[in-house]
Every structure is written in C-alpha cells, then in structure tokens.
Structure 1
Amino acid sequence: MKLFGSSGTRGVANEQLTPEFVLRVAKAAGTVWNVDRAAVARDTRTTGELFANAAASGLASVGVDVDRLGVTPTPAVTRYCEVEEIPGIVITASHNPPEYNGVKLVGPDGVELVVERLERIEDHILAEEFDTVAWDEVGETRRVESANRDYVEEMLATVDREKIAAGDIKVALDPGHGAGALTSPGFYRELGCEVVTVNGQPDGHFPGRNPEPVEKNLRDLGKLVRAADADVGIAHDGDADRAIFFDEHGEYIEGDASLAALSAAGLSEGDTTVAAVNVSQRLVDVCNDVGATLELTPIGSTNLITRIRELWAEGETVPVAGEGNGGVFFPDYRLVRDGAFIGAKFLELVAERPPSEIVAPYTDYYNVRVNLTYDSEAELTAMLAAAEKYAESADAEPNTIDGHRLDYGDAWVLVRPSGTEPKVRIYAEAREEARAEELAENVRAALTAALPDP
C-alpha cells in the first residue's frame, strides 16, 4: 500500500498530512463503504478538530450522515462502531509526536480495516473516484456525547471487578495528555482502585511528555509510583490503545514482559497467539511452556487483526495476542487494542501478587532499539540495501516477513522501515545486555556506512 501503513496513515500536520488529503480519504472511504451513516472521532491533538472537520465534510459530500463523537479513545470508537453497526474514521497519530496527526479507518464490525479493504479505499483515493452526491443529498451531522461513558460501562461489566476491588490497589496513572485522560481515571476508580495521576489533563501540546509510552518518556510516572506508594503504574499513548506498566517499586516493566505475563495467564494448551515479527523470546517461552502455537505477522495492528481473523476462520482459538509496545489484544472481548482494558486485565493479576513478581519470569532478556532517520528516498533505499546485504552475510537464518530478522539462538536482531515515520528501526534482544547492544550497533554501523555523502 502506498498511503496506508501498518496502523493507518500519518504525517506532520499541514505538511505531509493536510485537510485536503483527509477529505479525499473520507470521500473514498464513504464511497467504498456505501453506507448511510458513519462516525468521526479524534484524540486530543491540536490539529484534531481541523482534520475531523475535513473527514466529516468528506463523508457528507458522498451522502453519508456523520456522528461526531469528539475526543474519544480509539477503543471507545471501535465499540461505538460495532454497537451502531456503522464504520468510522478516527483522527489520531497514536504514539507519534505532537506535530503529527493521522487517520485510522474502522469497519461496521468495530475492527480496524484489513489490508484488502484499505487497498480498495486507497485505489479510490489515487484515482480520485468518489460518489459525490447532489446538493440536496449531502449527509447531515449530529453530536454524540455518550460514546466514552458507554465504553467505560461495558468494560466495568466485562472485567473481574470484584477481584480488583478486593485487591485494594492504588494505581498511578499517566494518560499522557491523550484521549485516555477522559476515561481511564474514572474507570479505574469505579473498579475500586485509588487513583493518582500525572499528565492527566487532555492537552494536544503534550506538555508533560511525548505520547509514546516508552521508558525515557515515563520517568515522572516512576516517580509518582514511589512518591504515592502506589501498587502499580499504568501509562497510555495518545489514543489510549496501549498500556505500559511500572511495578510497585516505580521500575519500568518492558512491554514484552507484560505481554508474556498476560499471555501466560490467558493461554492454554492448543490455543494460538499472534505477534509481530519483533516478538520477544519471552512470548516464545510462554507458548512452549503452555503448549500454545505462536503465529508471526508483519508489524502493525492491521496485520495482527488480519491474521487473527484468518485463524478464527480456520477454527483456532486466540485468547490473547499483541506486540511488545503495550498493544495487547483480547479478541474474545473485542478485536482491538484497548489500553484501559489491558490495564484492567493486568490489575486482575496485581490483585493476587505484586507486579514485580508477575513479570519476574520474563525479565531475563535485554532489549535495545535504535531509530535511524532518513531525509530522502535515496537514503532509505541505501539503508534497506545495506540491511539486505548484512542479512545475507550474517551467520543466522533470516526471516523476511517484515524487514530482516536474524536469529542467532542466544539472541536476535531485526531491521525494518517504520510504517508510520521516516525511520528505519533496529531491534535487538539477548540475555546479555552487551550482546544486544553489539548486535544493534553492528547493524546501525552497516546502515549508516551505506548512506550517500551529503
């Protein structure tokens, strides 16, 4: 796909992503969907209203009535779409920096569109084939105020509320100024938790931290856990479809470790789980221990969703799936990454023992991640050619499902272009920190050496 990456389409607002482009996406989506009604929602970014207006206009121009949900977490939007049986457009750049924005498309089943459907919409965008209607047939717009509350109510009825309440848990929460600030604090309080927050006010400038919930951005959450003597810390990204955790000592928990712990609690013999090609050995170990099958896909929620649906069609059970970035699926609940719900499932475990004990079996690995930014297609091409050459000469069996993953037995390294930013990402994992750093550095050196002279 030329326009849609691993999780929709994104770019710097008013540069790569413009109102005109969003208008075309909406017109194409409305044309392909061929429905009477659709939803439009956004996260807290300062350009959110601008692009939501463009999306609503695009839908209305092809005769679609628009439900405007306002600032809403992505999982709340998907729930609304499923219940109302209408598709939706979410204006969000998820974890990207404040200057970015983006578009996610949701089907009337409440699931992000699969690759085949996105390709049909992309074809209409590129060909500018839109079913524009006459002036007296354009869609109407209405405001919907209930989407966030209905979403919280459903979660309260789904998780083990009594178990969590009995655990007498104090939660330190960092919604990161994103859409989750409107829903997660109240949700966890209604679960019976005491909640303290940092970066808890919705603010599209993200003054307290960048939206991506990685360790370097979450130092204030670790401090809050310690200062408040909290039992656990929970952080979201901009649209609240991820959850990253801190233990009771204010120590950061790797997303791969929490994914492994949640998978160990949810998987049984004969089950299947789905993860991306940058999967940690931690999840491999869990699958081996419980007798579950692990399926790998290219990175990105769209790819995981597509594979989960394929497995369902084959009669497989997939109780849990996800990536090590905090994006975990519980498909039996809903086929969407849901930061608040992920947090609640982790709280069910915290009700029985401290987070440090929960993830203790999955902490014997070290992860290194390096991002190389490029400024031109020539630089990207040079780095990808260097990655291929490096993989061919490596003493390891490469997996090329998404980039180049090299497994060495005691460690692995993956290099691939980002689907959402102008970056080439390098991931490495090993039981020894020095080994992981060495693998990542060797790939980084090979790629930077291939860059053309300025």
Structure 2
Amino acid sequence: MAKYFGTDGIRGRVGLELTTSLAFKVGQSIKDVLKADTLVIGCDTRESSYDFMYSVASGAQSLGINVILAGVVPTPVIQYYSEVKKIYGVMITASHNPYHDNGIKVFKYGTKLSEEEELAVEYFVDNRGEFDVISVGKVITSDEPLNIYKEIYKDLNLKKSNYVVAIDSAHGANSVIAKEMLSGYVKELHQIGANPDGVNINNGVGSTHLESIISLVKEKNADFGFSYDGDGDRFLLVDNDGDIIDGDKIIYIIASYLKSQNKLNKDTVVLTKMSNLGIIKAFNDLGIKVVKTDVGDKHVLAQIKEFDYSIGGENSGHIILFDHLSTGDGLFVSMYILKVLEETNKTLKELISPINMYPQKMENIKAYNKDIVNDQRITDLVTKTQALWSDDGKVLVRASGTEPLIRVTLSYKDEKELDKVMSEFISLFKTLKEE
C-alpha cells in the first residue's frame, strides 16, 4: 500500500502530511531512484506552491539534475513538455482542493509513475540518509514548456465563431492562458476566477462550485460556460440555461462527433466505474462500446494506451483526447467542444438529447481512517444492494485517493429506493466512525 501517493500523486495539508522536507526528498529521488538527468517543474497559484516547487528543485539539483522552472502553468503544460522532451516532470498542485492543501504530481515522459515506481520513491523518502554532493545541477526559468504546449491548438483548425462564452478559471493555473487562447475564437468572452491571491484558489469558483459559472452564463446571456479546476486538467460545461453537462456527457458529445467522422478508433470509449448507467446505454445505442476502469485518470490513460483508443475520461471532467494529448486537459477539450459545435451546427441540448441519465447520487463522508471502507458491514451492504438492483443499478463505495473522504456513489432507476439505500450507508458509516 502506498504511504504518500494517492490516485493523483502526493497530496495533503501543507505543513502536516506535505512538508518542504518531503518535497526535497522527492526531488532527490528523481535522480537516485528514477535516474533522471533533466526535470521540468510547474505549479499552481497556491501561496505554498512556489515553496514546494523550489524544494523539489533543490533536492533534484543537489544530486546533479538540471531543472527547468516553468512557473505557474496548467498541469497539461508540464505533462506535455515531459512527453515531448522525454524528461521527467513535476507539477505542484492539489487540483480542486482548497488552498491549505497542496500536492506533488510526478511524470515520466508524460505519464504518471507506475505503482512500483511510486513505492520506490516512498522507500527512498523514508529510508535514505544524507548524501554527499558530487555535482550540482543547473536551474533555469523558461517559457519554452508553455510555448511548445500552445502549438497543439493548431491541430484544431478553429475558426472565429459568434459564440458568447463564459469561463471560470478557479483563480488557478489557467487563469491567463484560458483567456489568451479562447479570446481569438469567440465573439465575446467573459471570465471569472482569474485573480489569484494565493488563498482563493477553488474558493467558491471552479469546477467544484458550478453555481459561479451558472450565474455568469445567465448574467451575460452566454451561449455556454466552461468551468476549470485549480490546475486546469479538467473542466465541466453548462449550457445557456445553466444546465450542467458533466464529463460523461462531454465524452458522449465528442465521441459521437468522432464516430460520425470515422475517427473513433475501434468505436470504443473508456469511462470509469463512476459513470452513469444512462450514459452507457446511450453509447450502446450508438454502436459505441464502453470499457470501464477504476477511478483515476491514470487508469483511464493506461487502458487507452494499451488498446489505442481515441477518447476516455471521468465524469468529474478529466478527459483525454489521445489523438492529440496523452493527458486530461480542460482548456484543450473545451476548445474541442467549440469545434464540434461549429462543425455540427447543433446546440449542446441537441447533442446530448439521446441521453437518458439514471438517478445518481454521491455522498462524501469525512473519514481520516479510510480503512472503515473495508468493514464487513459495509461490504455486506454493498453486496446485498448490488444483488437486489442487478443491472438496473450501481453501487460504488471507495476511499478517496486525494482527500480524507469515503465516497459513496449510487445509481438506480427508482430515485426513492436510491435515497433509502443512501441513508442506510450514511447511517452505517456514522456508526462505524463512532466505534
């Protein structure tokens, strides 16, 4: 079992689970364990992010790694540059978490580390002592990672549209680039969440607080709105009425378009076990096969890579367009939506009209001891419910890999029955926490 790494790198509360000392050792491990010679590092807009960026850089430099500091950039910039240059990358971010959390994502040639590599890094962090400095690497600040990343947008062949678009950058890492890239392709652009101060990242804005983009869309009479998370690797969409279009529906829009263009490789999409049963039925009706993975974009990417699929992602908004990028990228995918809308000449409502979503609810239960998810009483309730609901329902209970939470996701055709069972799970978890 990993001690520091979760589903999306290392993440924790600043000064508690995540310290600059830990970050320094992670930087050293990139040389000692992963054998890197060059490292690119970026960060989001949290007040602690530069401290952690410099700590990782110092650790790496102390063992001879040459370090490129990209500053504040979205995660996809670091991941893409790591892939193109065949080097290691580190992104300092806690994604959609509040500012008092932070994290370290490590990439090897554009891909997250394997479980074996993560465990090797953790062993190094906990067991290696002091080092003699034999050679010291160079540290430079460079815009090259961002400039190379911008080149991928030429693949879209976008033309100027007449859309009025609202965006919410969560006071995060894509606050500047989102405005820069979108402004040239829409009639009007209205932006919120673009004034980071170190502590306001994800605070009432971004893809976990969609009420902000919904209000902006209605206020500006926009055609639709894009809401990004703190590090810019995911986004969610709202239409002109403020109705939410989640990651599953976004994948449906793009996959349907790709299939119509004979560009959907193997007529298959990759989703996670969190995906709604209604979306799976809609894909099947289109003749599109669905492959389901465990939660986490690294699992989605692994499946896409192994079988060379075109698209996959999570309903949270991590979406990978593998023909263009091997990473989830909120800005790139949102601009791909512009392309689909322009070329199909359809509204968002028309594009998702074939989907009949099943009632689905998720509860986040605070739990610092996440082992209670394996209690026999929980597993018995999961087994009993899934057997009762059969193919008409879904039961998923899992510990979050990024926060001290147990996530209970239920989907069933009968909403009253769904609510009843959800209450049973919440009550049982409350009992277990009090024991």
Q: TM-score, normalised by structure 1?
A: 0.88
The CA distance in 1 between the partners of 2:386 and 2:40, in whole Å, is: 51
- Structure 1 residues 36, 346: closer, same or farther in 2, change over 3 A? same
Q: What displacement does 1:340 show?
A: 0.4
Q: Is the 8 A contact 1:270 1:291 kept in 2?
A: no
Match of 1:189 in 2: 183
Which SS does the other structure have where 2:249 is aligned? helix
Which SS does the other structure have where 2:411 is aligned? strand
Q: Is the 8 A contact 2:44 2:74 kept in 1?
A: yes
Count of residue pairs brought into register by the alignment: 427
Q: How does 1:114-125 map to 2 (within 5 A)?
A: 114-125=114-125
Q: Is the 8 A contact 1:72 1:147 kept in 2?
A: no
Q: What displacement does 1:289 show?
A: 2.5
Encode CA deviations 1:290-343: one digit per residue, 9 max, x unaligned: 4333222221122222232332xxxxx311000000111111111100000110
Encode CA deviations 1:211-235: one digit per residue, 9 max, x unaligned: 6613xx1212111111111111000
| Equivalent position to 2:400, from 418, 439, 453 | 418
Match of 1:402 in 2: none
The CA distance in 2 between the partners of 1:362 and 1:277, in whole Å, is: 18
Q: Which amino acid aligns with 1:10?
A: R
- Structure 1 residues 212, 219: closer, same or farther in 2, change over 3 A? closer
Q: Is 2:20 aligned against 1:19?
A: yes
Q: What displacement does 1:432 show?
A: 4.6
Q: Which moved more, 1:229-238 or 1:443-452?
A: 443-452
Q: How does 1:46-65 map to 2 (within 5 A)?
A: 46-65=47-66
The CA distance in 2 between the partners of 1:431 and 1:168, in whole Å, is: 39
The CA distance in 2 between the partners of 1:417 and 1:150, in whole Å, is: 37
The CA distance in 1 between the partners of 2:285 and 2:168, in whole Å, is: 33
Q: Is the 8 A contact 2:96 2:202 kept in 1?
A: no
| Equivalent position to 1:341, from 332, 341, 351 | 332
Q: Which moved more, 1:55-64 or 1:342-351?
A: 342-351
Q: Is 2:171 aligned against 1:170?
A: no
Q: Is 2:238 aligned against 1:246?
A: yes
Which SS does the other structure have where 1:179 is aligned? coil
Match of 1:40 in 2: 41
Q: What displacement does 1:395 show?
A: 5.2
| Equivalent position to 1:306, from 302, 310, 335 | 302
Q: Which amino acid aligns with 1:24?
A: K
Q: Is the 8 A contact 2:248 2:279 kept in 1?
A: yes
Q: Is 2:207 aligned against 1:213?
A: yes
Q: How does 1:296-375 map to 2 (within 5 A)?
A: 296-311=292-307, 317-351=308-342, 352-375=345-368
- Structure 1 residues 23, 79: closer, same or farther in 2, change over 3 A? same
Q: Is 2:154 aligned against 1:126?
A: no
The CA distance in 2 between the partners of 1:142 and 1:169, in whole Å, is: 40
Q: Which amino acid aligns with 1:154?
A: I
- Structure 1 residues 302, 381: closer, same or farther in 2, change over 3 A? same
Q: Which amino acid aligns with 1:182?
A: V
Q: What displacement does 1:19 show?
A: 0.4
Q: Is 2:131 aligned against 1:140?
A: no
Encode CA deviations 1:68-126: one digit per residue, 9 max, x unaligned: 00001001111222232211111000111111000001112x22223333233233223
The CA distance in 2 between the partners of 1:276 and 1:90, in whole Å, is: 24
Q: What displacement does 1:266 show?
A: 3.0
Q: Which amino acid aligns with 1:381?
A: D
Match of 2:113 in 1: 113
| Equivalent position to 1:430, from 412, 421, 435 | 412
- Structure 1 residues 197, 440: closer, same or farther in 2, change over 3 A? same
Q: Which amino acid aligns with 2:123?
A: D
The CA distance in 1 between the partners of 2:91 and 2:201, in whole Å, is: 23
Q: Which amino acid aligns with 2:310?
A: P
Q: TM-score, normalised by structure 2?
A: 0.91
Match of 1:400 in 2: none
Q: Is the 8 A contact 1:248 1:354 kept in 2?
A: no
Q: What displacement does 1:392 show?
A: 3.4
Q: Is the 8 A contact 1:322 1:329 kept in 2?
A: yes
Q: Which amino acid aligns with 2:5?
A: F
- Structure 1 residues 223, 91: closer, same or farther in 2, change over 3 A? same
- Structure 1 residues 260, 281: closer, same or farther in 2, change over 3 A? farther
Match of 1:237 in 2: 229
Q: Is the 8 A contact 2:385 2:395 kept in 1?
A: no
- Structure 1 residues 117, 129: closer, same or farther in 2, change over 3 A? farther
Which SS does the other structure have where 2:42 is aligned? strand
Which SS does the other structure have where 1:205 is aligned? coil
- Structure 1 residues 13, 188: closer, same or farther in 2, change over 3 A? same
> After the TM superposition, which segments of 4 or more aligned residues of structure 1 sit over 6 Å from their partners?
none
Q: What displacement does 1:387 show?
A: 1.8
Q: Which amino acid aligns with 2:245?
A: I
Match of 2:372 in 1: 382
- Structure 1 residues 257, 272: closer, same or farther in 2, change over 3 A? closer
